[in-house]
Amino acid sequence: MSESLSVPAPPTKKQAVAIVSSDLAVEEFLRRMINLSDAGVFHDPQCPICRSTHRSASEKDWLQHRNAEQVRQYFLDKGEPFTIPVIKNHMEAHVDQSQVELRKREYIDRIISLSRKPVTTMERLEIALAAIQERLVAVNAIEDPSVPSSQVEKIKADATCKLTSAMNSLLELRAEMLGELKQNGEVFTVDKRAFASAFEKLLLECLTNEEKLVVNKVFTELSKISKEY
């Protein structure tokens, strides 16, 4: 009698809680990278002007006159003695940053969404290789009449060189991983022709239709889980 296939045991309740807690920690960490108020406005909690109730009016003044001393005087009149460096830092680094933060939030939301679906390292490699191949095609399709053809060709050559170098590194890693998986018994290879020939031989040895159905079913199921490398 053939040995039954071992099925991984489902995670214990403690393990499941740990996984959920880990996922929540990752989400919280990523969302801390976004500096947006509830109103969708850029907000740095360490910046006193971002926290000021007079922020909006001061920014309007700055955008109209670009005069830090005038803005400083405005805050003084409101009882907030901010220095010129603090004012310039806020006006130059925090004004008009809301769109950037919104794009960051969209990007992080996509990352979180993707991270919720477990993907193996090998699958990630396959995705990365596919992305590089797509970029190779896109780069070499570039045409710009406003740029000299020699410059366009140089851009294509440089990009192709970098992309193929990255692809080679991933292919080497892929080959190394497959070797490790085979050594650990997690992956085994069978010659395709020998595989088909073995089942043809079994079918010829079948005496009843029921036996043939079983052999065909085994062949079909194995074909479904097989993967070419």
Instruction: Give the DSSP H or E segment for 17.
Output: helix 13-31
pLDDT in tens, 175-187: 887 776 666 666 6
Q: Is the dihedral of CA 65, 69, 72, 73 positive or negative?
A: negative
Q: What angle do CA 21, 27, 29 make, to 5 degrees?
A: 100
Phi then psi for residue 226, to 5 deg, are -75, 155
Residue 105 reports pLDDT greater than 90: no
Q: Which residue has the tokens 């650990």?
A: 184
Please report the pLDDT score of residue 74 as a whole number.
96
pLDDT in tens, 171-217: 888 888 777 666 666 666 777 788 788 878 888 888 888 888 887 88
String of DSSP letters for 202-216: HHHH--SHHHHHHHH
User: How would residue 24 be classed by pLDDT, with cut points 50, 70 and 90?
Assistant: low
Structural contact between residues 98 and 36, judged by C-beta atoms closer than 8 angstroms: yes
d(CA 82, CA 72): 6
Confidence at residue 9, expressed as pLDDT on a 0 to 100 scale: 54
Q: What is the pLDDT of residues 126-144, one digit of tens each?
A: 888 888 889 898 888 888 8
Confidence band (pLDDT; 50, 70, 90) for 18?
A: very low
- Report pLDDT digits (tens) over 38-87: 677 888 889 999 999 999 999 999 999 999 999 999 999 999 999 999 99
Q: Which two tokens stand for residue 221?
A: 């199921």
Neighbours of 94 (CB within 10 A): 19
**Helix, strand, or coil here: 82?**
coil
Is pTM beyond 0.85 here? Answer: no
φ, ψ at 193 (rounded to 5°): -70, -40
Nearest-angstrom CA–CA distance, 109 and 33 = 12
Residue with the two structure tokens 């460096």 = 85
DSSP 133-199: HHHHHHHTT---TTS-HHHHHHHHHHHHHHHHHHHHHHHHHHHHHHHHHHHTTS-----HHHHHHHH
Contact (CB, 8 A) for 104 and 33: yes
For residue 111 the two structure tokens come to 């990352």
Between the alpha carbon of residue 107 and those of residues 34, 102, 176, 179, the distances in Å are 10, 9, 32, 35
Cross-strand partners of 36: 42
Domain residue limits, the chain: 48-96, 120-187, 192-225
Pair 33, 65: CB distance under 8 Å:
no
- The answer to whether 108 and 34 are in contact (CB under 8 A) is yes
